[in-house]
Structure 1
């Protein structure tokens, strides 16, 4: 069955989240990124967040383009790190860059994939689906390792056994990352939050070979990044696609959050996988890291809705003085007073 590793949960208070948001562009408040393992929020353009699971330990830093980059009249005053990241994007077209730095705890036996998935099946018209299938077929021709599934509704039997695929598209990690830098023991790995450099020859080699182009081991440190000029998480739109007008991501995903994950397909080697191209059944996946992306103006459900709502209640309690429980006569009366505050 699918395994989602339970990395250690860092103790992050509401005050920590608020501190990370200070000095940020207010437009970032519309988007929310949650670590599905720890159920903690990751604030873009702030500092690194820890990743720790059965496969690797490391950190992630999310860089997101904010409106001030393109609007000279935007008068938002940013703190040091957000201001530096805005400058980072100023000469680039990319809308985001996600940077990861990891050290493996075990060497993967199966192929590794970077996946973008939904929790529920999407419904679209015949013409729209035909166009999307055409685009996906074109992507597969350019990227031989590309895999996707519409995630047909599984039967109860298939769901119970894990013999089904969610709606998703995925690429081999080695070929999909825009940069991969391997630091040997004794070398200083690149610092996250800054430009990452890899030679053009190395990038071309990875894109051509895919799985097998990176030697995974327990000694080296791997620094990777993924970027795109076609997806804006703040606006929740796809844009800059040649020949297409900008459109809301909701046209494709509905109001669902989007999940970005790194997973291993088990029960096969990279060489065997290339020959057979098996489906990515949930029972055969080890999901090591999963991040939820949502937008308060365009999505509903998911961790963001439940966790952040609870945080708001707790934050409200912290700003109020609780009743003096020594002056009441019973637990019931104490509970009644607290209930009055939270209602």
Structure 2
């Protein structure tokens, strides 16, 4: 499902009955007790070849970041910076609302075979069951993403070849994209990446952004998150809902970067390296080449 129609979450609240409103209020105020955050990454390929599409990876210790990424499409490092992690000294350049940041650096080993997307997923095969209160949260999140400048959001409740997710073209979704030609030194991971005029133009006028993947370049991506607090397992600052405990809806979430290979079961056109290529229909086959899964379970 993909729609550019503006959503008014305020109006959605009026459509709920008293029981649904009470349920939403209870979800907002609940403070369950949890165990430790469990974080896993896609297991790198030892040979640098294709990696099987799977939700099972390698558990990591966040204090030992960065971690290797290696598969048939991309090779490099992924660095996870979390504000409230014990021992953290990274200041997020003084941006106090930023809860965590992910930096990715490496090289594409071949041209992508389809559009590249960045998505927040629920790592499950079955379709997600949507309750009345959750509909409010989803509509509010969609509206928030649109106001933050994310264009052409692809959303699915899963089933029939898709996992439940909300995503958009990756090169539009990343806060920073640094392209370093051969012979030059890419920026070091673990340090603040300055916002450049090219980042502003890429986010504001994405479909005028002219760039094709070059396997000789080193790519550095950065994504900051101000809404999902994985250590407290809450989403905060969302219109209407304001904040809610993620455990009410799922035990795990996954951030994934993938190339979409089929729409509605049919192969997508070759993007020929164009990073603005899109796939608007069901993403029924894909190659997830970078992912981070976070899980939180009750003690």
Q: TM-score, normalised by structure 2?
A: 0.71
Superposition deviation, residue 294 in structure 1: 0.9
Describe the superposition over 1:277-304 as per-residue Cα deviations: whole angstroms up to 9, x where unpaired.
22211x3x12212221112448xxxxxx
Q: 2:67 aligns with which of 29, 49, 58?
A: 49
Normalized per residue, the structure richer in strand is: 2
Describe the superposition over 1:295-320 as per-residue Cα deviations: whole angstroms up to 9, x where unpaired.
2448xxxxxxxxxxxxxxxxxxxxxx
Superposition deviation, residue 179 in structure 1: 0.6
Structure 1 residues 53 and 276, CA gap change in structure 2 (3 angstroms)? closer
Matched, 1:117 2:121: yes
Superposition deviation, residue 233 in structure 1: 0.7
Matched, 1:32 2:64: no
Superposition deviation, residue 52 in structure 1: 0.3
Superposition deviation, residue 185 in structure 1: 1.2
Residue equivalent to 1:204: 200
Residue equivalent to 1:215: 212
Structure 1 residues 227 and 31, CA gap change in structure 2 (3 angstroms)? same
Matched, 1:100 2:100: no
Highest relative contact order (Cα 8 Å, sep 6+), 1 or 2?
A: 2
Distance 1:148 1:198 in 2: 28
Any stretches of 5+ residues in structure 2 without a counterpart? 1-34, 45-56, 262-267
Contact 1:205-1:213 at 8 Å conserved across structures: no
Structure 1 residues 182 and 242, CA gap change in structure 2 (3 angstroms)? same
Contact 1:43-1:62 at 8 Å conserved across structures: no
Contact 1:175-1:210 at 8 Å conserved across structures: no
Matched, 1:190 2:187: yes
RMSD: 2.9
Residue equivalent to 2:78: 60
Residue equivalent to 2:138: 132
Distance 2:220 2:130 in 1: 38
Distance 1:99 1:138 in 2: 23
Q: Greater CA radius of gyration, 1 or 2?
A: 1
Contact 2:169-2:278 at 8 Å conserved across structures: no
Superposition deviation, residue 131 in structure 1: 5.5
Normalized per residue, the structure richer in helix is: 1
Superposition deviation, residue 211 in structure 1: 8.7
Structure 1 residues 247 and 134, CA gap change in structure 2 (3 angstroms)? closer
Distance 1:173 1:222 in 2: 13
